[in-house]
A and B are shown apart, each in its own frame.
Chain A
């Protein structure tokens, strides 16, 4: 049995105008002990909502369906009151903007001690001692516990956030764009820290990011999300060398590589709006390999190899059309007009 099983998760946001936005549309995945999973996609694809859903962290105007199974129990099943006991104890989180994620009026130490006392891990002097140890584990002197968040640099705040995440020895750490606002060197420091902690403590990690190369270097497995759905799920190696969905292949081709002179391309158009019904494959209008079936029938996520699944009709066609990224069909120049002319609404 996996450590974490997500089964057919749906999230709807109620919009002010009375309609609904179907932000997460039936997401399922598993996570094993000590495994590092990347959740990748463009902004608005539902990746942040998905991991907030794992902890039940919704604003009031949300409805949710599906199961999030931790230790064999569906923690979503009984709503806020049950899920509260799991928070930070089983799953902890590192947020995107570390500045805003820490209370400006509380010392860093107190914020680390707080969940320990709440969940009965440690209290008083023992908890404070452990907070100091955790800070040292992430590379901050224990005396940093007495300081306020605004006295820390961005990188140190993110380290403190990670220390706070480890306070209750969770089995799973969710990291939402943990390095987005940081410099390359600090980003490397934080990623190294996360990988090191995951190896040492056997911590399972879900890394949410739009940065494919980061996932390729940090995670063994990744799920690519598009328009609220996982469209491909597999090892990072499979995703790069044997992509089975055109979006994955194109997404890799949009990021330049230091030592690879391949043309970088842009994907024309914009993702579909999630407050409307989508007919056919949601990626079809932007896809370079779409055919008739794609505009009428929505492809389901199908298992193709061991640990590799994708949602694309091309995989039903005998000859595999999905190729390596070097045969990118259009160069950037030609795409300008297409990207530009799409009006996004």
Chain B
């Protein structure tokens, strides 16, 4: 009963947030004076035919309210408009970009979580030891490095040894088709630098949060109870402290998803990774507003979706949530 309530509540929030994103998107681009879609004069690539097509499809000559509902109606049908640059529908292009972004971001983030949580536990357990000091200082340092700086440094360090741009070897597939495994290997090598950059910029915060969460948990009375029962330190950490201490990490990951995506944009920009961040930057530089609008919306939906999953995970982890 209560658990159904919780799921419904979180789902309602997710849907509401997506709705807000759509609305803000609309206002940002069409209502604010001088905003892009209505003021196509600012757009270098908009041909008269394109202008006409958009005007018809999105009713740009109608009232704002009417435009808003037309926009919603088109979105429901998966229509985000047509790119000014290549005259192709935006939505399929962005889905393709997202497909490239997800593996890189997932690998980088998961690696950051694993490394961060591990060092956080070690730091808390060996509190005030040399290990703790080194690990905490490194975490603070990496937390402070902006991804663009870290990315550029890695570019210089590995210039020549690792591919620095793109997702695949440029000539792959030109001379006959490439096998699945060699293609995977190719992509994997290209992913090393961007994923590492993302991982390094993220892991520091996870370490610091895990450390303080763990320290707090280790001060709880049930840890003393576990000690009184005769448990060894290792078992106390694994059985009693870890799960309790992980709860804030779930929230943290959910909360920082937006930031992770932001980091992904810069990293894709630096390493020319053909993902959604790269597409958004290209859209910005070419004033391709439908593309930009769609990219923002898809990113927002992705983040909201991940947040919803994190909420469900939290619910699974903590029996007290439904109370």
Contacts and interface: CB of A to CB of B under 8 A. Distances in A.
A/B: CB atoms within 8 Å of each other: yes
A148 B229 contact: no
Interface string A149-186: 01000000000000000000000000000000000000
B140 interface: no
A103 B228 CA distance: 13
Given A101-B222, A105-B243, A105-B244, A114 B319 contact: no
B225 A102 contact: yes
B232 A148 contact: no
A102 B323 contact: no
B1 to A, nearest CB: 14
B227 interface: yes
Interface in B294-321: 317-320
Interface in A64-98: 84-89, 92-93, 95, 97
Nearest to B233: A80
Contacts of B224: 57, 95, 101
B230 A85 contact: yes
B319 A150 contact: yes
Contact of B320 (A92, A93, A104, A114): A104
Given A104-B244, A104-B320, A105-B318, A119 B230 contact: yes
B228 A87 contact: yes
Contacts of A97: 221
Most buried by B among A57, A86, A87, A101: A101
A32 B227 CA distance: 25
Interface in A197-239: none
Contacts of A100: 220-222
B240 interface: yes
A101 B225 contact: yes
Contacts of B243: 105
Contacts of B317: 105
B227 A57 contact: yes
A141 interface: no
Most buried by A among B222, B225, B318: B225
Contacts of A93: 225, 228
Contacts, number: 63
B24 interface: no
Contact of B228 (A92, A104, A105, A150): A92
Given A88-B228, A89-B230, A114-B229, A103 B244 contact: yes
Contact of B230 (A88, A101, A150): A88
A46 interface: no
A55 interface: yes
A87 B225 CA distance: 10
A101 B221 contact: yes
A57 B228 contact: yes
Interface string B221-257: 1101111111110000001100110000000000000
Contacts of B225: 93, 95, 101-103
Contacts of A104: 222, 244, 318-320
Interface string A103-122: 11110000000110011000
Contacts of B221: 95, 97, 100-101
Interface of B: 220-222, 224-232, 239-240, 243-244, 317-320, 323
Given A86-B230, A105-B243, 5 more contacts: A84-B232, A88-B228, A100-B220, A118-B230, A150-B323
The 3 closest A-B pairs by CB, nearest first: A100-B221, A87-B230, A115-B229
17 contacts: A55-B228, A57-B224, A88-B228, A88-B229, A88-B230, A89-B230, A93-B225, A97-B221, A100-B222, A103-B226, A104-B318, A114-B231, A118-B229, A119-B230, A148-B319, A150-B319, A150-B323
